[in-house]
Structures are given as structure tokens and as C-alpha cells.
Structure 1
């Protein structure tokens, strides 16, 4: 299994103007500086920023422009994600483009950042793709990784590298850095987490290997991150253990079927007692919302909550 070179692009993201021309320039610069790169990935919502009014149908001109760049340089491109408008719904959708400029697959984020990413519909399908002769890759977006079942499922489908565009500008970024390390180690995979800057995040992109050790961590400035991955390290870790110690994937395999919490119809009284999924508010406002929910036929969901203390 040959090495494979990936470049992550940590760049400034505007919420008021398109970032597509800058993305195209970053691709040109990357391939001029590092012509050995075989895949480029951007951060979540990099092209048009974090506002849902930019949602548009797919396919579109943005994908076409990224396809042209992929074909020009003979590289794979994961251009972050955009808000997709489809059948009256909005999804947070990432596209995978191969070196021939073809759309290989698309992925809709399964866990929008509720209750903040209001109005975005969750996707329902996991996404992996094969780079011939190299490895199987999995695609995950931002908040997805806070639910370990998502990464575990991708790895159970054979993924050895997780491509994870993110848009994190909140004070929990330190927590996310630890989650990346945890997901890489417990799933014995490479984890490529690329964040944006300004309205696209606070930077600090991180790439970890299958032993959970940090290969590279950025700071809060624009950066091109070119790395050559030795994919065979994944197989080695999964066969012999992390640092020749724990073998979590094998142990998980040998105990499948014993997690009753996931079985259909299993009651979850404690989880049900946690209350509605709403933004934190002053205690008097929160109490008012809970009282309102008790009077509703159906519980409050993120699409009901307006963010101003009303529903």
C-alpha cells in the first residue's frame, strides 16, 4: 500500500461574500508549491460561509469549478461543504471529486449542530469512497464526530482515513481536539480535521495518526498543510494493537450485539428526562419554555425554536 499525500487548507471564510475564487487560488498555490499532493480538503461551509440563505441546489457551478480544478491537476478534491437546497429542505453537504473531475459521492451531515444550526435537516446515509490502490476513506462533518457511533460505523465499513471538514469557532475547540485524538485511537485510523478562520472557525486544524498521536496541529493563521500519510500504519495498528497494546477494533468486533441501548424499542427513561433540545436561556425563560412544551401535543424540536424565547 503506497503512501498518499493530502493537503488541508485552513483559510479565512467570509459570511458576506463568496470564497470560491480564493479557494481556487489556494488550490493553484498548493499545487505550485507541492506538486506531489494527491488530495486537497477545505473546511466546512468554506465556499459560501455559515448562513443558510446561501443554500442552493446540487449540482451547481461551484461543484463544476472544483471539478475543473481536480481534472486540471489530476487530484482528489473535497471542497468542504455547502448548504444544499433540496425538496424544500436544507442540508449541509460535502462533495468528493476524483482526479478525472467526476463526482464520486456526496455526504449530508448527519448531526447538524442543534440547537444552533437551526433549519438544517440531518442526512441519513454514511459515506465512504475508495482511492484505488491506496485506502478506503470516510467522510464526516464537524459535529458528527461528537457521536462516536458515526466514526465507528465508517471504520466498520472499512474506512482507514476519516476526512473531517469542520467549522468550529466556539470555546469548545480544545474539547474537539481531544475528540479527534480519541476517535483516531479508538478506531485506529487517520483523522484529518480541517477548520476554517474568521466566520469559518478559529483554526487549530489537527491531523492524527492511528495511534492517536498528533501529526500536525495548526494555530490561528492561514495555512496549507501538506502531509504524506503512510496508510500501512493503519493495518499495522489494527493487527498488532495501538503501540503494540490495545486492539479496540478487534475487541469491539468480538462483543457485537451486546449493546442493548441501541436496540429498537428499548426504553430510555433517563435520556427522555433531559428535556427539550433548545438553546440555553435565562432560568425564567427556560421554565416558560418547558411549561409550554408540556402543553404541546408534540415536543419542541430545533425547527420549532426561534431562539428568542418563543416557539
Structure 2
């Protein structure tokens, strides 16, 4: 089977606080209206809000609630992400829950939005998971997609769909829409970039096909987006090329160039080291006349 229906949920929620009951209501409504849905994806930090003060160890009562809902409706569920409290610090962590209500994977955001997302540690493990008889899925979170290595690595691991919850409430959302399309095209995969609305994002979620084509772009308010994907399209385009043209994954595999940057310890260079500290911009001093 190559057809699979994924619903992205763009919703308003509290910036600081427990949003799990509102998410439960959205799932109840979604599954009542669109019973064909097989996977549900929420935006970044939707369950408990955007404050690290709400960090909890995983598993947690919130994660247990989502496990119950996944089993109740027999769906794959990615309830955005939550701040996870660990012995070595706080992580921005996404849970992948299968239709039996089991957590099959947890992914920790690799690129916290520093310097603004201060005090959050970086994950280091790429995560893909298989939906039996359907295909392979990869996950990333928000700022991760600004680094092409993240999506390229997931694609090289066989991911055919990238599930990407985000929480963007800033003026760079239009740039992210272009990045989402680019990530889908250069890796020949579906890309689900699901944002929050209101306090947890300025909306404009986007679902992109493996040719970089926009399947759906949401507005700025609440929206439920059930999208049927066809994994055979990914496989065909990876075989014959994007629109019958470029085959970027094969070309990357067969390249002769060796990227010396990645040989260096930490992936740095004299130029990158000259850029100064990763810190918030400061107000420019203007001398009084």
C-alpha cells in the first residue's frame, strides 16, 4: 500500500501552560470528521507550551494521554514536542506513538534556536521509523530544517516523508516556506511543516510534495489539514528524477567532491571561527546630540 493519510493540526494554544485537553478535543473532532486519517501531527511545543519551566521527564502524564488517544483511534500520533527534563539538562523532544499506544521513538531537537532558545541542550541522534506496509518516515523540529544536512541525512536513511513540527511566530516564516519546498525538492520527499497559531506560531503551515510542489498552505488561523500522500510517487521520482529531470539523491551519492568542511573537528573553519559569539544582537548606541 502506498497511500497514507496524514493530518496536520494548526491550532491556537497557551504559550505557557497545559494544552493537552485542547489537543484531545482536536483529535476527537478530527477523527469524527475524517475517519480515514492514519497519522496526526501537531506543532512544536504544543502540549505544554514554550517555557522550559514546564520540562518534565519522559514518560510523563501528557505523553501517556497521547498514547491512550493513539490506541483509542488506532492512529500514529506525533503530538508536537515537549521540553524533557534529563539529568544532563533540558531537551526539546518529540515522541512518535504507534496505533497500539506505544512510544516507538523519541527525537531530541538538534538545533535549538540559539541564542533565543537558551538553556536547551542539543540532541545528536537522527530518527526514522517505519509504518508497516507503507514506508519510512523521518522527524525533525523547527530550526533543524535550516541546516540542509539534517534533512539530507534523513533522506539518506530512506525517509520518504519528513514530519516537521515548528513553532514560528517571527517575521522569517516566509523564508521557512521556501526552505520547506527546497528540502522536499532536493531530497525528493514529502515535507510536512506544521506550525502553531496565535501565541504558539503565526500559522502558514505547509505540506510539500517530492517535486517541491505545494500541496497545501494554511492561513494564519486554526486549521485541520488531512492530506493523502502517495509513497509510490516518492519512489518513482527518486528513480526517474524530479519531474523527469534532476536526480539529486543519486547525484549526491555518486559525487566526486569531498566536502572538506565536514572533516574538520566540529565542522568549523577559520572563516566561521571569525564570526564571533552566538549571541543576541544588542541595541546600537546613538550618541545624544
Mark yes or no: TM-score above 0.5: yes
Cα distance in 1, alignment partners of residues 3 and 160 from structure 2: 13
TM-aligned CA deviation for residue 282 of structure 1: 2.2
For residues 264-309 of structure 1, give each alpha carbon's deviation from its aligned partner in whole angstroms, at most 9, with x where no partner exists: 3476110011000000112459xxxxxxxxxxxxxxxxxxxxxxxx
Cα distance in 2, alignment partners of residues 52 and 99 from structure 1: 29
SS of the residue 2:49 aligns to: coil
TM-aligned CA deviation for residue 16 of structure 1: 3.4
Structure 2 residue 270 is the aligned partner of structure 1 residue 269: yes
Q: Is the 8 A contact 1:188 1:238 kept in 2?
A: yes
Give the alignment's TM-score, normalised by structure 2.
0.96
Q: Bigger radius of gyration, 1 or 2?
A: 1
Cα distance in 2, alignment partners of residues 92 and 256 from structure 1: 37
Q: Is the 8 A contact 1:110 1:144 kept in 2?
A: yes
1:215 matched to which residue of 2? 215
Give the alignment's TM-score, normalised by structure 1.
0.90
Q: Is the 8 A contact 1:50 1:199 kept in 2?
A: no
> Larger deviation: 262-271 or 228-237?
262-271
Q: Is the 8 A contact 1:161 1:189 kept in 2?
A: yes
Cα distance in 1, alignment partners of residues 23 and 42 from structure 2: 8
TM-aligned CA deviation for residue 15 of structure 1: 1.9
SS of the residue 1:12 aligns to: coil
Cα distance in 2, alignment partners of residues 69 and 198 from structure 1: 25
Q: Is the 8 A contact 1:192 1:206 kept in 2?
A: yes
C-alpha RMSD of matched pairs (Å): 1.3
Structure 2 residue 76 is the aligned partner of structure 1 residue 90: no
Aligned 1:62-77 pairs, distance under 5 A:
62-77=62-77
Aligned 1:19-30 pairs, distance under 5 A:
19-30=19-30
Q: Is the 8 A contact 2:161 2:191 kept in 1?
A: yes
Cα distance in 2, alignment partners of residues 264 and 69 from structure 1: 46
2:145 matched to which residue of 1? 145
SS of the residue 2:201 aligns to: coil
**Structure 1: tracts of 5 or more residues without a match:** 286-311
Give the paired residue count: 285
Cα distance in 2, alignment partners of residues 87 and 188 from structure 1: 38
For residues 7-28 of structure 1, give each alpha carbon's deviation from its aligned partner in whole angstroms, at most 9, with x where no partner exists: 0000012023311000000000
Q: Is the 8 A contact 2:84 2:91 kept in 1?
A: yes
TM-aligned CA deviation for residue 2 of structure 1: 2.4
TM-aligned CA deviation for residue 256 of structure 1: 6.3
TM-aligned CA deviation for residue 49 of structure 1: 1.0
Cα distance in 2, alignment partners of residues 257 and 158 from structure 1: 22
2:121 matched to which residue of 1? 121
Aligned 1:1-311 pairs, distance under 5 A:
1-255=1-255, 258-265=258-265, 268-283=269-284
Cα distance in 2, alignment partners of residues 39 and 256 from structure 1: 39
For residues 106-160 of structure 1, give each alpha carbon's deviation from its aligned partner in whole angstroms, at most 9, with x where no partner exists: 0000000000000000001001000001010000000000000000000000000
